Structure 1
Amino acid sequence: MIWVLFLALAALVLAPLGFALFRPARTTGRAEADLALYRAQLAELDRERAAGRLEEAAHRAATVEVQRRLLAAPERGVEGKQGGGAAILAASVFLIPALGLGLYLWGGHPGIPAAPLVERQEAAARDDALLGQLRARLEQTSPGTEAYRQGWILLGNAERGRGRLDAAAQAWDRALASRFDPALAAEMADLRIQQGETDAASALLARALQQDPADPRLRYLTGLAEARAGRNANARSTWRALLAESPQDAPWRALLERQLQDLP
């Protein structure tokens, strides 16, 4: 009986997908679809904050992350309807629950209880030990090598994924000291903005813009750092200039317009 319930739940979750598949399709661009997704994510974050389920700091960090993805997304051309893609999605509505059930019956263990707190703490300790070993190994690597730089980038990514922003910043600092890269500088500046260190973020972005002055993400983050620092006039002029030079179909235009409207 429990498997029937699992299948019913999976069908319920995938019902919106099935509904979308059988609606009349229309031609749309990937950029438009991306923009709609990001708008929906931002609106959901606003609703969670208004309902009191999301603290202001968490809301701000999540909003910055959505904005980061939007600015990092490449521009795409307009795409028409693809019957093959729709067929694959339609098959997925039925195959995903069946595949999931089959895999669980083959290798799952429904009788195993949830991992207690002690086990989760032990797993976290093992992760800490592995990252510590990586850090120690990188300390012994020659600073001028690409392996050294890439290692610190990976370590920073791991630390950021665990929510340890200070440790991530320290690792990325080492990578940037090895070789300055505008893309990594943008990630670092984004992190600094989340930490409230807007002056450090602005300095990084100014240096990155010297190498890549047209990069929209660097310019957007420059405006964001200015806004977070309370320099609204600078943020407004930065974002207006970026908006004026952005293509009409650029997926970040709506984000810029919204940020400009929200400025005091």
Structure 2
Amino acid sequence: MIWLLFLGLAALALAPLGLALLRPARLTGRREADLALYRAQLAELERERAAGRLDEAAHRAATVEVQRRLLASEGAERQGRAGRGAAALAALLFLVPALGFAIYLRGGNPEVPAAPYVERAEAAARDDALMAQLRARLEQVPADSEAARQGWILLGNAERGRGRWEAAAEAWRRALAARFEGPLAAELAELLIERGALEEAAALLTRALSADPEQPRLRYLTGLAEARAGRTENARSAWRALLAQAPADAPWRALVERRLQELP
């Protein structure tokens, strides 16, 4: 019975793929659909970056890849590949469950229980203890030393990865107190903007821009802070000035242009 259950679940999971194969091809309006998908992918990348799950380099690379795919998607090429795409999808209807079945036969066991909540809670408690231990050790290091600064940066990165925004922000503040630098100030400012601490973010950006007034990320975040604070004209002015000086092939240009279009 359990194998019948597995087969039924596999059929349900692959049902949308089968429906896609049976649906007749629609060429009309395909370009508009591609553009809509492109915008949706960029919005998703922006949400991932804002939530801290994508760093700036990964976000930039993914955005460029989405743009490259859009430029490469021409109607004639898509039409020529339609038959091959349908054949590949049909093959996947068989190969995906077959591969999953083979992997399960190799090492699967339906009797193995899921990890209980107690074990997950214990793992989280161990992480908390490790972070607390690291924090205690950093407290004993001279506050203005490079070792302390690097330690607080690492702790902030770890806390952000765990979704503990306040702890991450506090660690980065300690690192900036040891030695102020623009890139870390931008990381903290972006986090503060997303959490609504606009005044502190603006102060950080002003200080960082005084040392590096042409840094694109600092200028972009300055406009974002102004937009979130409701100062639309200030944000528009900041982003237009940034675009006016940006190279035509700047990978972040599309993001700034989209932000400008979103302003009321």
Counterpart Cα distance in 2 of 1:117 and 1:245: 53
Equivalent position amino acid for 1:231 in 2: R
Distance 1:117 1:72, change over 3 A: closer
1:73 matches 2:60: yes
Query: Paired residue for 1:18?
Result: none
Contact 2:220–2:239 (Cα < 8 Å) also in 1: yes
Report the Cα offset of residue 97 of structure 1: 10
| Structure 2 counterpart of 1:251 | 251
Give the superposition deviation at 1:138.
0.5
User: 1:194-233 maps to which residues of 2 (within 5 A)?
Assistant: 194-233=194-233
TM-score (norm 2): 0.67
Aligned with 2:251: secondary structure? coil
Letter in 2 for 1:176: L
> What one-letter code is carried by the residue in structure 2 that aligns with 1:202?
A
Q: 2:50 aligns with which of 60, 64, 75?
A: 64
CA deviation profile, 1:143-197 (whole Å, cap 9, x unmatched): 2322211111111111111211111111101000001111100000001101111
Cα distance 1:143–1:116, how it changes in 2: closer, same or farther (>3 A)? same
What's the CA shift for 1:40? 3.6
3-state DSSP of counterpart to 1:214: coil
Q: CA distance change for structure 1 residues 68 and 202 in 2, over 3 Å: closer, same or farther?
A: farther
Identity, % of aligned positions = 63
Structure 1 position 245, deviation (Å): 1.1
| Distance apart, 1:254 and its partner CA | 1.8
SS at match of 2:217: helix
Q: Take 1:208 and 1:217, find their aligned partners in 2: how far apart are those partners? A: 11
1:17 paired residue number: none
Is the CA contact (8 Å cut-off) linking 2:49 and 2:56 kept in structure 1?
Answer: no
- Which stretch shifts more, 193-202 or 36-45? 36-45
Gaps of 5+ in 2: 16-35, 73-91
Q: Does 1:240 align with 2:226?
A: no
1:12-45 Cα deviation digits (max 9, x unpaired): 9xxxxxxxxxxxxxxxxxxxxxxx9984434458
Equivalent residues of 1:188, 1:201 under 8 A apart: yes
State the secondary structure of the residue aligned to 1:113: coil
For 1:155 and 1:139, locate their aligned partners in 2 and report how far apart those are by CA, in whole Å: 12
Deviation at 1:98, TM superposition (A): 10
When the two chains are superposed, the root-mean-square deviation of aligned CA atoms in Å is: 4.5
Pairwise mapping of residues 138-149 of structure 1 onto structure 2 (< 5 A)?
Answer: 138-149=138-149
Query: What residue in structure 2 maps to residue 51 of structure 1?
Result: none
Aligned positions, number: 232
Q: Which has the larger radius of gyration?
A: 2
Structure scoring higher RCO (CA < 8 A, sep ≥ 6) equals: 1
- 1:38 to 1:208, Cα distance in 2 relative to 1, 3 A: farther
How high is the TM-score relative to the length of structure 1? Answer: 0.67
Give secondary structure in 2 for the equivalent of 1:141: coil
Counterpart in 2 of 1:126?
Answer: 126
CA 1:109–1:170: 2 relative to 1, 3 Å: farther
Distance in 1 (CA, whole Å) between partners of 2:183 and 2:194 is 17
User: Do the aligned partners of residues 107 and 170 (structure 1) sit closer, same or farther apart at CA in structure 2, a change above 3 Å counting?
Assistant: farther
CA distance in 2, matches of 1:138, 1:37: 46
